[in-house]
Structure 1
Amino acid sequence: MTRFSTASTRGKSFLVSEHEGHIQRVVELSRPGGPIATNAPTATVNNPAWFRSGPDGEQEPRGERNALHHQLQREARDAFPNVEQEKKAVVLAGPPGAGKSTVRKKVLGKDDDKYLVIDADVFKEGLLKQATSDGSYESWIKPDAVEALERETGTTFYPMELASLVHEESSMMAADLRRDAIERGDNIGLFTIQGVVVV
């Protein structure tokens, strides 16, 4: 059964389902300066145990984190064992859930398995799965503000709702895999929400 609460905007009240209210909270928390913004203090790239600043000022993963990157990148590559080296690329842009995977399969048809698909969202899922497994999701990634909201509202924030906190790291991993694939001459399929990919 869906419960409804009252919300207001510009003095007008209306009913908002709990689900919609939860989505609104996630959006609010994700705004710049918010506790789950991409550059929030608990974003994975801000963990000094996992990252250090390189000579160029870019964040570089430390030992075990670097090994995790390589493992997840290897898994992403192994998911497409028939990739050919024809130096071709397909770039698909659109918001999450817009159907980029479906379009890719329609466009490439029988050649779909000849392309290495590079999608930062796959790395987000892998990073968050590892974090829930090793306890770092609770001990580092999930901000106090989210824990307080969970207690206050009785709702649960699921790991993928906090994916913005692994956004920079997953983008870094996708860029590294893309660079390696281009050097090998792999056919690649790139997903982006921004519509701009520098190769």
Structure 2
Amino acid sequence: MTMVVNLRTLVVIGVFGALWGALELSLGSALHALNLPFSGVFLAAAGIAVALIGHRFVPQRGAVLQIGLVAALMKAASIGGIVLMPMIGILFEALIVQGVMAVTRGQSRGSYVLAGALGCLWPLVHPFFAHGLLAGRGILTVWGWVVEDGAAFLHLSPRAAVLIIAVLGLIHAAVGALAGAVAWNTAERVAHRGGVRHASA
């Protein structure tokens, strides 16, 4: 019986990880080609929503992080570009969501909304970590990039840097919160039809 449960867990983790990875490869490529504003947070929101739905069906701690790991490994299969930074992004998003689910026990709409909101803040932080620290461009250089892009999008002066970052953070969190709510509603409908128990973080 234990072997059957473990096999089911691995299958569910694999399926939802593959779904997240497929979104990264397909939707990610499309958003990158279109060069749309906030494409990173929309992609993160879609992936996090998939991981949160997967969490509902996997009664195992660390499931979200494992789903993210599968997605990151799939991202490594993408062709024509450096994928290390996107892989790091996926793993950090999964780690943040997993942390929230562990703390809140992941059994309410509020926990899903909070996990989505905090997880989707990572695309805003990611350039500072990936380019500022890992790539050695410097935090201040990346700060300038983010502020300039944000000022152009929000039609504000770059001098209002703190306001720009705050508004960008609110936008990222709002998109993530919506993704969390959608994930909760979707998971609940499917679970009630199939009689699935609530999973623990």
**Could you state the TM-score of these two structures normalised by the residue count of structure 1?**
0.33
Structure in which a larger fraction of residues adopt strand:
1
Structure whose alpha-carbon radius of gyration is higher: 1
